[in-house]
Amino acid sequence: MTKVNKEILLERAEREFLDGDFQDALLNYSLILKDYPAIQEAKVGVYLCDLATQSSEEAIILFDYYQMIKEENENALEVISDLIESLDNTSMKLHELFSHTIEDEIEYSEAIRYRDFIELVKDKGSFKEIFENIMFSTRVVITQKEEFIDFVTKLCHEGFSEIALHYLDNTAVMFGNDQEILALYGLVTEKRL
């Protein structure tokens, strides 16, 4: 079996990355690493593609920074690897801190995780009934975008459009210009009419 041409694939992966086609870039970086596991640029590319799924802006900034310093600094791979490791560690620490905060809130206050709320709904059979029973006494803790979308959608379908709009208005800014979140406004408007 012949080895892939690493220069061609590396150039293609970089071009795809810059075009925002992170999945294809990831595939090409992975193909390089399959035949040449020691190629640091491909390792950096894989990490940046993964980072791009969470924050494309951060990933592109790091990619641009790497492209800029690799011509001037012979330790560019080491510099970018250290930056990536630092970001990874910071991200993990923030996740741990956030997780502990949520756990503390649930443990010491009147709160329920969204997944637990949904389990109650499955057991009792009525979103509307469960929500009406807890809406004034218990907070529903939502930790993922998918949970938020599901919750707002269910609120709309069960006749709680005003409450859904309130949730959207108070939290949409956290999601930026996320099209899935913005589309919920259309659903709320449709159900209010």
Confidence of residue 139 (pLDDT cuts 50, 70, 90): confident
Q: What is the pLDDT of residue 135?
A: 78
Place 145 in a pLDDT band, splitting at 50, 70 and 90. Answer: confident
Write a three-state SS string for the chain.
Answer: CCCCCHHHHHHHHHHHHHCCCHHHHHHHHHHHHHHCCCCHHHHHHHHHHHHHHHCHHHHHHHHHHHHHHHHHCCCHHHHHHHHHHHHHHHHHHHHHHHHHHHHHHHHHCCEEEHHHHHHHHHHHCCHHHHHHHHCCCCEEECCCHHHHHHHHHHHHHCCCHHHHHHHHHHHHHHHCCCHHHHHHHHHHHHHHC
Residue 93 has a pLDDT of: 58
Q: What is the pLDDT of residues 1-17, one digit of tens each?
A: 456 688 888 999 999 99
- Whether 94 has a pLDDT exceeding 90, the answer reads no
Write out pLDDT tens, residues 150-183: 999 999 999 888 888 888 888 877 777 778 888 8
pTM (2 decimals)? 0.46
